[in-house]
Every structure is written in structure tokens, then in C-alpha cells.
Amino acid sequence: MKKFLLSDYSWGALLTLIVLAFFHFQVPFFDNLEHMIYDARARFRLKPDITQRGDEIAIVAIDDDSINKIGRWPWPRSRMAELLKKLSEYQPKAIGMNVLFSEPENPQILEELQQLEGDYGAILLSKKKKTPAEEEFLLAISSAVQRLDNDSKLLNAIADSGNIVLAMSFGLSDSPPAQEEAVDELPYALAMSSMSGVENAQAEAQFNVALAAEAGLPLDDFAEGSLGAGHVSILPDADGVIRRDLPLVKFLGKYYPSFPLQLARVYQGLPLDEVRVSLGKEIRMGGIQIPLDEENRMAVSYVGEPGTFAYNSFYDVINDKVQASAFKGKIVLVGFTASGLGSLYVTPVAHNFPGVEHIANVAQNILRKNFIVVPPWSFKVELGSILLVGLFVTLLLPRLKAGTGFAVSLLVGAAIVAPAGYFFVKQGYWIKLVYPFFLLVVGYIVMISKKFFTTEKKKELVEASEIETNKMLGLSFQGQGQLDLAFEKFRKCPIDDNMKDVLYNLGLDFERKRQFNKAVSVYETIGKADPKFKDIATKIDMLKKAADGAVFGSSLGGGKAKEGTVVLDASSMKPTLGRYEIMKELGRGAMGVVYLGKDPKINRTVAIKTLMFDDDMDAAALKEAKERFFREAESAGNLSHPNIVRIFDAGEDQDMAYIAMELMEGEDLKAYCGKDKLLPVSKVLDYISKVADAMDFAHQQGVFHRDIKPANIMLLKDGTVRVADFGIARIQGSSKTATGTVLGTPSYMSPEQIAGKKIDGRSDLFSLGVTLYELLTGEKPFKGGDAIGTLLFQIANDPHPNPKTIRADIPEDVVQTINRALTKDPDQRYQRGAEMAIDLRNCLKKIIEGGA
Amino acid sequence: MKLDISGRTDVGKKRTNNEDNFLLEPEMGFFVVADGMGGHSHGEIASKMAVETTRDAVKRFFTNGQKGILGKVDPKVSERANQLGSAVRLANQIIFESAKTKPQLNGMGTTIDCVWINKDKASIAHVGDSRVYLVRDGKLSQVTRDHSLVEDQVRQGLLKREEAEKSHLKNVLTRALGVDENAEVDILDTDLCPGDILIGCTDGLNKMVADDEIAKAIPLMKTPKMIADHLVDMANAAGGVDNVTVVVAQLTR
């Protein structure tokens, strides 16, 4: 898990790029987030204080109270006319009727009546004589008509006021139908309300204007008496919240103002033509510049929750229950607040915002220049802040510690939010801070998580516990081959799963070194904690038996073998070396332990000689020694002679090299070297002659023994003689001997062997001569002194004492044989074992014949 | 950056056996040099224990991610330096306890210098009078401080450096592994630049070849193997009084 993780920088840079991409494509998700922030900020722009807000706008509400008292809507338009008359008395500057009068009232009844009036009037005219009752009746009908003609009343009222703005509505569409033919005669409402002051109509492609497909207009008669109409259409943002007004709508090729816009214009006393529009930028009305965004919309800065503006109930107004000051010189808005009537909008400030109050807010914004605007430099600031936050997250944040990083991030977050908030609330500048803020929050989370995970992985150093220390020591001792010390250390550790494996390995090491008791001890230690761990139960069993079978003896098949017999159950695992089953230990040789083994395939018992290499031999020397060993074993194995021990097999198992050879029952001739144990001369001659034959045979095969001595000559129970350890003696590790080639038992070595010169069969014959001497006299020909140097000097230079001086009954020709064998110069010695054998047999014949 | 390490040891011209030991682990960027002491060739056993135990301990840190270290954690040096210190203390305990169990080994000890290189940083653990040198831009500087009697005398102002060179006590050590139950180990970190060479050597080199002669010889050699061979030859040519071991590690781009 090293270099796979991206570096801190990459993460930071990647996040910044992603956010920049979002910023570029203006992804809706962020818009929603931004709107949430926007709405939160918008609350701070509320102006509950009337002096801040201004008092130019009043509302006359058709509320529930009025409905209850006056009757169900629709009311007769005479009521409206009544209201207008009353309002006019209070001298407002403008009256906006947020009620749509697109159809005449009760046309049918009126028409019928007017028809009747007309008809009756015609009838009367044609009559010469009119009765007063008939004239009265005509009058009655006329006045009924008059009374019922509310529309006319309203019409008059409108005209008399002279400051009425009417409402119209557009059905907005993204793709209005193409104009089929030019409309010659526009309805009045449109004709007097179209805006001519659009300065850059050609830029319309760049700055979208809302398009209308259809219109709901006030009746021409009404329109005539008014100052014009403004539309009340509205477009919410993607989340359904109204945040912006629609100052302009295009319909049939012309631009029409919104209702609040008209009201504001009238309030200002400006003709519509003097209202100048720069698409995508602003609307200029007298001294007021209304900022427009790229979609020609105006952001609404709501000044309060519903009810903030002065409400007056319609009923109260009609019944003179209001004061003049409520309306004098103001814009009076007439609209619905009754439940079920009028529109309710979702705004940042409230969810049920009456349409009429919305209009009031927009008008207030215009008149008091209370605008929220996207400043032209906002793009640069937003981009710049994203980049700055990106740099912070990429370069600085990873280097900071947890506490500092958190504090600084908070500061950065505040640095984004605070100025943006301030600008928004105080100056009305809308800067989108959602992008840099988002980058900061996500960047912080990513960096902190990464840090958390990476520090988790980095292991911190701790001082090892005593248990860990003992484990370390144990492992080191084991590595150095000091298994006892290793075990001592391991015993101090609690036995957890890991420790069980460690101990198990130690047990295996002990087994390899054939220290079975110790291996058992180790396994039993594991067993105390987990008796069922791996195969330790069977191992303990088996090793105990193998250890019990060990017997010490100085020679093969020594006398105490009987006590050592062991019965092994057939089913249990027996120790094996190669394919041989190890039955028991027979003894310890110079080079290693000798076991009694069995070849299960052919059911033959063999002797297994193991070779133990020095512990401090390095790997190369070990390899070399093993190679030599197997080479020698191979050549010795090829010697098939009745007087040479048969070698069956050689191999390696569990780091031990072994030879499987003929199992011999008997003892070596060393037993007969003691003065009190000497054999008769004839026997000695017999045995040695046979050995000489064996020598001859081997030498002809090119195999030299190099270590002929009594200990290597076996006298078997059946009286036969075997030479053992051909060439094997050469296998010992070379670390003990710097020159590496001088080996053998010094007392028996030939002069040339001592000198380290290349030896051949004649060297063996010298050694045989020494052996002969010793077997006959019970003394070695060269005894040496305290230091080995003396012995070597003697062998090389001094003549051997005459054997006859030690044992008188040695025949002269035997002495001659000895002398020749012990000649210092190999060229003067017996050249072949056969020669020596012949001489020896001749001596023997003489003794037998002589003795008879 | 690539690391090339090579080492050579020689019995010298006067001694019969070599009691120096060294080991290289190029994949880990690790090498260790030790000079053993103690009669009857037990120095060889001590130095071998030292190099093998430290190498195995470092391996356990490197591959098994072992966390615990022997001894106190020194926050002033790097994680690796602490781990080397732990490995050396472990070796000390192994040698010390082994000597206790076999009386014939009593008194055996060894110097040690371990170097563990990780990209451009080297961590070093040091006990004794074997040395680690840094060769940079042809300049030779000794990174470790000898733990010898004469060195202490020079530092205390009792002896001048030239006198120290000639002092017959210059083989006396103030610190060695295996002689005491607790070992005081010098651990340090050093930054490396591409082209830098680190040399770990036993006193068999310094006794025969002066620092400036070493410095002059190095630029002539191209590979660490050549440098190591040449320095050993120089020591032998100058008399070869002691076993000499030289390990050379070079950082190349």
C-alpha cells in the first residue's frame, strides 16, 4: 500500500478542477445549494423598520372579512367603482388594480335589458301618443339598465381617477407560435402599454427576454381611461421559489412592462416612453437605475413577511373607516388576500406570500433603489475564490496539524462567508459563494480523512514490552543455533497463536539436531496451552519412544544392545532417514551417531551412519563437504568384496547426511590392541592378509582408504573380517584444518600423508603395517610425545622399534613384512596390497606347518 | 536512486585468522561491519553473531513490520535509526548471554557499524572503533565517533591527534558489544545526495591507510567493488597488520 495512493497535492488539485468544472457548467445541484444560502442571507435584508422601508405603498385588501361582509366574489363592479371613488378622495398618487377585468360583467342580462330598452323605446317613438306610465316605464328600464351597467360605472370611475394602472397577464412560453400576420389593431391595453425605449433590441439573442404566447387583457373601455397596464406574470426559479421579478415580457414583437414597473413609473410621474431599457443591463427610469440580469430579470429584495405593508380592508375603505393619511400621495394596491382568491407565492421569506404584497415589495425595491444585483466583477471574484480555496486545500492544509488545520479552515470559511454576507445584506451584491465554500468543506473532509487513514497505517515506534524483547532474543538465539538459550527466552512469553508457531519451529530445530528430549519439552510447552495444536500430540509420543531407544556403546552392536531393544507400534510414525526407519541408536562414531535402521521395502536391517557437520561451517564449505561425501560414498559403494563393508545407500534428510551400510555384528580390532588381549599371531596374519586383499581390490578401483587402523577393521561373529569407512573419513569439515587435506588418525598416517603430499594405495599399506605392528605387539610403532609434532617427526624420520623386542614369538619373516610395509619411501614399500597379502600368507603357512 | 553495495574482507598479512565479519543486504539497503575480539578465535564468533543477529533483526522490521524496539525510543532520530539501535542492542544481549553460558567464550566482544539506507537518507548505528565515512564531492569525512580511549583523550584536550595516532593505547576501546549487559549505541541519521559514497570499515584499514590517502584513491575507482578491493589492497600493501574489512555503498541517480 505504498505509492498507490495519490499524493496530497493530486487530491487537492483534482477536487479544485472538479469544482471548477461544476462552476463552469453551472450545475443545478449547486444552484440549489446557492439558493439555500441566498434565502438565508435574504432574511437579513428584511426591513421591519418603516423608516428604512419607506411608506410609499399601501394595500387595500379584498380580505376574508370583506368577503364575509360584502358577499361572495365576484362582486358587482359597482363596488369597485365605489372603491375607486373613495380612494380618489384621499388623493393617492397611483392606484394599481390587481384584479383582472378581461370580460364584461353580466353581459347577457345587460344586453337583454338594453335590447328591451331599445325595443320599447322604438315602440314608443313610433307611437304619437305616449302615456306618462309608458314614459315612466321606459325611464324605469333605462335606469335599470344604468344601474346594472356596472362596467360603465367602473369605467367612469377609472377615467375620473386618472391614475389607475390595470393588470394584465401573459401566458409565458419558451416557443410562442410564430406570428402569422401582423396585427393591425392592437387592443388598447397593449397599444398604450408597449415600451418603445428598448435601446439594444438586437442584443436580444444574448439576453433572453421572457416570451408570451397569449395574453389576458383588460377591456378596451377600461384601458382607455387608465394610465396603462402592467403584467403580473411571474417566473419561479428551478426550485419553485420566486426570487426574481419579470420587468419585461415580449409579446407579438413588442415589449411590455410589469405591473410594479408601471406603478413606479406613474409614481415618478414619467411617461412610458421615457423609460429606457438596456437589455441585460438595466432599466432607467428617471433617476432610478434598475439592474437587470442576463435574463432581464430583477432580483427581489423582500422587505418583510406577509403583513409588513400597511393593509387596509376593502370593507373598511368603503365604509370610511380609514384615514386619509393612509393613502395620500402613495401607491395604493388593490388585491386579494382572501383565502382561495388571488395568488400565493413561495418566496425566500415566506411560503404563502400574497401576490399583491409581492408587487408591493417589487415596487418598494424600485422606488427605494433596494436592489440585489450580481455585480459585473462577481465572476472574477467567484473564480478567484475557488482558486484560492483550491490552493489552500492543495498546498497548505495537508501540512497543517489537525488542530491548526481546523482553525485555519474555519477562518477561510469565515473569510468567504462574511464578506459575501456583508456585501449581500448591506450592498445588495450577490456573489455566489457556494462553489468556494463547497470546495473548502469537501477539501477539508478529504484531507482530514486521508490523514486519518495514512497515519493509521504508519506504525509508530514503541518500546518493546518485556515479552516482545524475550521473543526477539529467542529468535536471535535460534538463528545463531543456540536452541537452549532460545527456548529459555521463549518460555518467558505467553503462548499465543504466533508463539505456538515459533515454538513449533524450535521443536523442529531440536529434532533436526536429534535432541529428541528437548524437542519433546518444547512440544509439551505448546501442549499446555493447546494440546491439539498441529501434530504435537503424535510428535511427543513418537519422540519419547525414539529418545528412549538411545543406547550408548563404543562399537557397532555393542554388548548393551539387548537392553536397548524397543518395540514400536506398527501404526505410529517412526523416525525416518530417507527411506530407512530409524529403530534405535547404536552408538556414536567420530563423525556422528550410528543408528540401527530398517529398509521397509526389502525388510533389511542396516546400519545408518550419520554425518554431523560442524555448526560453524558456512554454507559454501558445507555444500562442498556434502558433495565430497556423496562422491566418496558412491565410489565406496561400488566396492563389492567379501572383506569390505557393503555400502547400500547414501543420502540426505533433515539436513543430515547418512550412509546406509551393511549391519555387522561383531567388534572392531581395537579391542585386541591391548597387551592382555592380543590375538595369536596366526589369526592376526590371517586377518591382515585378508585386509591386504581388500586393499588391493579397492586400490585397483582407484579408491583409497586413507584411514586404515584397527578401529576400522571389523571382526564379525562369524569370524570374517571387514574393512569399514573407506574414504569416508575424508568428509569432515575443513574449518578445523586450514590446509584441509591432512586427515586421518595421526598414529597410523604414512609419511607422505603427513607431508600433505598426494597419496595413493601405498599409503594405506603403510597404515596397514602400523596396524599389523600394533595387533602383534600391543604397542604402536610411533608413539610420539606431548605434542603432535613429535609423533609426526617420528613417523617421517625415525625407524620403528623391532617388534621382536616387544614380543619374542613373532617370526622373522613377519618382521620382514612389517619392515617393508613401514618403509618411509613409498617406492620402496609394497607396491600393491596383493604383494603384502602373499607375504603374509606365506608367513602363516610357515607357522601352521611349523606348529603342526 | 540506485544503491550499489560491495564489500571485502581480508585476514591481512600478520594474523592467522580473520575475526572481522560483514554482511550486505542490497535489496534492503543495509550493510553491517563488525570487528571481533577475544582470545582463541572467539572474536570471530562474536563478530559473526553481531552481523547475523543485526541483519535478521532488521529484516524482521523491514519485512514483518515489527513495531516494538529494544530500549528507549529516541524521538530525535528517525524510525529506522531507532530500529537499528534496537537491532544492535539485541546483538549485544545475544553475545553477552552466549558468552555467559560457555565459559570458554568469556570476554568475547566486537565492534559494530550498521548502515541502513532509504532513498536519500542513511541511518547508522555504531559501537566501537570501526568507522563509517562519507565521501561527497571528493571530500572524506568521518561520520561516526571512535569509542576508543585515545579518542576520548583527544576530545578532552589531553592529547593531540597526531600523538593519538602514535599512542600504543590506541587499540583500547571504551565501548564494545558483548562485554556488558546493556550497550550504549550511537544512532544517527544523515542525508545523502546522488553520488555520495558511504564506507564502513574496521580499524584494519585506518591503522594502515591515512584518511587523505583514502580520499585520494576513491575518485580513481569506478564501482564500489573496485573501491573496496583497492582499499583492502592498500591496507595490505602498507603492512596488513590486522584483519581489514571494507564495505562501500554508493548512491547513484
> pLDDT of A441-459, one tens digit each?
888 888 778 776 665 444 5
Instruction: List the single residue in A462, A473, A484 with the smallest CB-CB distance to B94.
Output: A473
Q: Is residue A411 one of the residues assigned to a domain? A: yes
CB B212 within 8 A of CB B137: no
State the Rg of chain A over Cα: 63
DSSP code for A27: -
* Position with higher pLDDT, A370 vs A4: A370
Under the phi-then-psi rule, with left for phi > 0, alpha for psi from -120 to 50, and beta for the rest, what region is A813? alpha
Q: Given CB atoms, is B90 within the 8 Å cutoff of chain A?
A: yes
Identity at A654, one-letter amino acid code: Q
Q: Are residues A359 and A396 in the same domain?
A: no
Instruction: Give the pLDDT of residue A727.
Output: 61
Length of chain A: 852
Structure ipTM: 0.88
Q: Which residues of B touch A472 (CB under 8 A)?
A: 57, 60, 68, 70, 90
In a domain, A3, yes or no: no
Asked if the model's pLDDT at residue A81 lies above 90, the reply is no
Same domain, A87 and A205: yes
CB B187 within 8 A of CB B84: yes
Contact A462 B86 (CB under 8 A): no
pLDDT of residue B248: 95
Single out the residue of A508, A502, A509 nearest to residue A480, CA to CA: A509
Higher-pLDDT residue of A786, A652: A652
Tell me the percentage of chain A whose pLDDT exceeds 90. 9
What is the rounded distance in angstroms from the CA atom of residue A440 to the CA atom of residue A23?
Answer: 14
A430-434, B15-19, B93-97, B164-168: the lowest-pLDDT one = B164-168
The residue-averaged pLDDT of A739-761 equals 73
> Which amino acid is residue B238, in one-letter code?
A
CB pairs under 8 A between A and B: 64
> Which range has the worst mean pLDDT, A211-225, A276-290, A511-525, A600-614?
A600-614
- Residue A846, Cβ neighbours under 10 Å: how many? 15
Same-domain status, A531 and A553 = no
Q: Searching chain A, which residue's CA lies closest to the CA of residue B100? A: A485
**Cβ contact A345:A76 at 8 Å:** no
Q: In Å, what is the CA distance from A388 to each residue of A21, A137, A236, A384, A408?
A: 16, 88, 33, 6, 14
Which of A394, A393, A311, A429 has its CA nearest to residue A360? Answer: A311
What distance in Å separates residue A619's CA from the closest CA in chain B?
Answer: 14
What confidence tier does A178 reach under pLDDT thresholds 50, 70, 90?
Answer: low
Q: Tell whether A128 is covered by a domain.
A: no
Residue A152: its pLDDT value, please?
80
Residue A819 has pLDDT above 90, yes or no: yes
Q: Mean of the pLDDT values across residues A719-730? A: 76
Q: In the prediction, which pLDDT does A481 show?
A: 86
- Average pLDDT, integer, range A224-235: 88
Confidence category of residue B131, pLDDT binned at 50, 70, 90: very high
- Greater confidence (B4 vs A111) lies with B4
In the sheet that holds A721-723, the strands lie side by side as: A666-668, A713-716, A721-723
pLDDT recorded at residue A1: 33
Q: Tell me the nearest-neighbour CA distance from A553 into chain B, angstroms.
A: 27
Beta-bridge mates of residue B141? B134
Residue A725 cell numbers, joined: 569407512
Whether this prediction's pTM lies above 0.90 is answered by no
Contact B245, B236 (CB under 8 A): no
Per-residue pLDDT at A618: 64
The amino acid sitting at B214 is: I
Domain match, A845 and A708 both? yes
Separation CA B29–CA B3 (nearest Å): 7
- Residue A105: is its pLDDT beyond 90? no
Asked if B68 has any chain A CB less than 8 Å from its own CB, the reply is yes
| C-alpha cell belonging to residue A86 | 373613495
Indicate whether B121 pLDDT > 50: yes
Listed residues A367, A392, A423: the one ending a domain? A367
> Are A462 and B73 within 8 A, CB to CB?
yes
User: Residue B101: which of A459, A472, A485 has the nearest Cβ?
Assistant: A485
Strands A331-336 and A94-97: parallel
Give me the mean pLDDT over the A268-273 stretch: 87
Give the CATH number for residue A621: 1.10.510.10
Specify the residue for cell string 530398517.
A598
The CA–CA distances, whole Å, from A486 to A463, A509, A510, A784, B101 equal 21, 11, 11, 44, 12
Say whether A244 sits in a helix, a strand or coil.
strand
Query: What's B211's DSSP letter?
Result: H
Instruction: Give residue-wise pLDDT tens across range B204-245.
Output: 998 889 999 999 999 888 899 999 999 999 999 999 999 999
Please tell me what DSSP assigns to residue A12. H
- Judge whether A42 lies within some domain: no
| Alpha carbons A321 and A299: distance in angstroms, whole number | 36
CATH number at residue A495: 1.25.40.10
A309 and A414 share one domain: no
pLDDT per residue over A408-417, tens digit each? Answer: 888 888 888 8
- Does the pLDDT value for residue A818 go beyond 60? yes
> Hey, what's the torsion of the CAs at A249, A252, A253, A256, to 10 degrees?
-30
Q: Looking at the structure, tell me whether residues A718 and A643 fall in a common domain.
A: yes
Domain membership of residue A44 (yes or no) is no
Kindly report the nearest CA distance between residue B117 and chain A, in angstroms. Answer: 18
The residues, ordered by sequence, that sit 6+ positions from A401 with a Cβ below 8 Å of its Cβ are: none
Least CB-CB distance to A464: which of B56, B70, B97?
B70
DSSP A656: E
- Residue A341 pLDDT greater than 60, yes or no: yes
**For residue A833, which of A675, A701, A667 has the smallest C-alpha distance?**
A701
Q: Test A482 with B86 for CB contact under 8 angstroms.
A: no
Q: Which of B49, B90, B97 sits opposite A472 (nearest CB)?
A: B90
> What distance in Å separates the CA atoms of residue A477 and residue A507, rounded to the nearest whole number?
14
Kindly report, residue by residue over B36-63, the tens digit of the pLDDT.
987 666 889 999 999 999 999 999 888 8
Is the pLDDT higher at A357 or at A742?
Answer: A357
Distance CA A371, CA A362 (A): 9
CA distance B226 to chain A (A): 24
**Cα–Cα distance between B62 and B64 in angstroms, integer?**
6
Residue of B nearest to A469 (CA): B70
- A494: Cα separation from own chain's centroid: 34
Choose the closest CB to A461 out of B49, B82, B90: B82
Cβ atoms of A717 and A665 within 8 Å: the answer is yes
Choosing among A1, A2, A480, which should be mutated to test the B contact, i.e. which has the most B CBs within 10 A? A480
Picking from B32, B82, B93 by the largest number of A CB atoms within 10 A of its own CB, the best residue to mutate is: B93
A34-61 pLDDT, tens digit per residue, is: 888 888 888 888 887 888 788 888 888 8
* Chain A residues closer than 8 Å to B79 by CB: 461
Q: Name the closest residue on chain A to residue B48, using Cα atoms.
A: A480
Interface residues on A facing B, Cβ-Cβ cutoff 8 A: 459-465, 468-469, 472-473, 475-477, 479-480, 482, 484-485, 616, 738
Q: Which residue has the higher pLDDT, A724 or A742?
A: A724
With CB atoms and an 8 Å threshold, state whether A464 touches B53.
no
> Which residues in chain B have their CB less than 8 angstroms from residue A475's CB?
56, 60
* A413 to A335, A405, A680, A703, B77: CA distances (angstroms): 44, 12, 114, 94, 38
Rounded-to-integer distance, Cα A516 and Cα A501, Å: 18
pLDDT score of A550: 47
Task: Read off the pLDDT of residues A247-263 as tens digits, 9 standing for 90 and up.
Answer: 888 888 888 999 999 89
**Residue type at A103?**
E
Q: What percent of chain A has pLDDT over 70?
A: 89
- For position A619, what pLDDT does the model report? 66
Q: Are strands A57-62 and A254-257 parallel, antiparallel or unpaired?
A: unpaired
Residues A208 and A96 in one domain: yes
Long-range contacts, A464-467 (Cβ 8 Å, 24+)? A464/B68, A464/B69, A464/B70, A464/B86, A465/B68, A466/A492, A467/A492, A467/A493, A467/A494
Q: Mark whether A309 and A433 lie in a shared domain.
A: no
Domain range enclosing A640: 549-851
Kind of pairing between the strands at B139-142 and B131-136: antiparallel
Q: Are A485 and B82 an interchain contact pair (Cβ–Cβ within 8 Å)?
A: no
Helices A761-777, A833-851: crossing angle, 10 deg rounding: 30
Whether the predicted pLDDT of A572 surpasses 70: no
Determine phi and psi for A557, rounding to 5 degrees: 60, 45
| B chain contacts of residue A468, beta-carbon cutoff 8 Å | 68
B45 touches chain A (CB under 8 A): yes
Q: Is the pLDDT of residue A566 over 60?
A: no
Containing A523, the helix (H) or strand (E) segment is helix A516-529
Model confidence band, residue A183 (pLDDT cutoffs 50, 70, 90): low
Q: What is the distance in angstroms between the CA of the first residue and the CA of the last residue of chain B?
A: 5
What's the pLDDT band for A735 if we cut at 50, 70, 90? very low
Q: Residue A453: what pLDDT?
A: 66
Q: Are residues A504 and A558 in the same domain?
A: no
Q: A234 and A326: one domain?
A: yes
Flag if A477 and B94 touch (Cβ within 8 Å). yes
Q: Cβ contact (<8 Å) for B60 and A472?
A: yes
Q: Which of A398, A426, A457 is the last residue of a domain?
A: A457
A754's grid cell: 603427513
Note whether A301 and A42 are within 8 A (CB): yes
State pLDDT tens for residues B196-215: 999 999 999 988 899 999 99
Last residue of a domain, one of A427, A457, A487: A457
Q: Which of A459, A473, A475 minimises the CB distance to B67?
A: A459
Is the pLDDT at A814 greater than 60? The verdict is yes
How far apart are alpha carbons A850 and A742 in whole angstroms? 43
What's the pLDDT at A558? 35
Mutate to test the interface with B, among A461, A488, A505, A737 (most CBs of B within 10 A): A461
Distance CA A522, CA A495 (A): 12
Contact A614, A634 (CB under 8 A): no
Nearest to A746 by CA among A728, A766, A726, A762: A766
What is chain B's Cα-based Rg?
Answer: 17
CA angle A767, A770, A773 (to 5 degrees): 150
Residue B28 CA to residue B25 CA, distance in Å, equals: 6
In this prediction, residue B31 carries a pLDDT of 96
**Residue A140 resides in a domain:** no
Same domain, A361 and A415: no
Inform me whether the C-beta atom of residue B52 falls under 8 Å from chain A C-beta atoms.
yes
- Domains in chain B, CATH or no CATH each: 2-235 (3.60.40.10)
Which residues fall within 8 angstroms of residue A418, CB to CB, at 6 or more apart? none
For chain A, say whether B74 makes contact (Cβ under 8 Å).
no
Chain A neighbors of B9, CB-CB under 8 A = none
Task: Decide if pLDDT at A265 tops 60.
Answer: yes
Residue whose C-alpha cell is 610395509 = A821
Residue type, A529: A
Residues A756, A811 within the same domain: yes
In terms of pLDDT, which residue wins out, A13 or A486?
A486
Q: Considering only CB atoms, which chain B residues are within 8 Å of A485?
A: 97-98, 101
Lowest-pLDDT choice from A5-14, A487-496, A797-806, B163-172: A5-14
For residue A734, the distance in angstroms to the closest alpha carbon of chain B comes to 14
pLDDT band at A568 (very low <50, low <70, confident <90, very high): very low
SS3 state of residue A819? helix
Supply the angle between the helices A77-89 and A150-161 in degrees, to the nearest 10. Answer: 20
pLDDT in tens, A492-544: 888 888 888 899 999 999 888 888 888 888 998 888 888 888 888 888 888 77
Within 10 A of A458 (CB to CB), how many other CB atoms are there? 7
Question: In the numeric block, which cell numbers belong to residue A404?
Answer: 491548526
- C-alpha–C-alpha distance, residues A346 and A493, integer Å: 74
Measure CA A311 to chain center. Answer: 64
Preceding omega of A74 cis (within 30 degrees of 0): yes
Contact assessment for residue B101 and residue A485, using Cβ atoms and an 8 Å cutoff: yes
Average pLDDT over residues A137-145: 83
A467 residue type, one letter: I
Does pLDDT of A548 surpass 80?
A: no
User: What mean pLDDT value characterizes chain A?
Assistant: 81
The alpha-helical segments, DSSP class H, found in B156-210 are 161-166, 203-206
Query: What residue spans of A701-777 are helical by DSSP H?
Result: 751-754, 761-777
For residues B168 and A99, what is the distance between their CA atoms, to the nearest angstrom? 120
Q: How many domains does chain A have?
A: 4
Inter-residue contact A710 to A771 (CB < 8 Å): yes
In a domain, A837, yes or no: yes
Query: Dihedral sign, CA of A786, A792, A793, A798?
Result: positive
Whether A126 is in a domain gets the answer: no
Smallest Cα distance from B18 to chain A, Å: 12
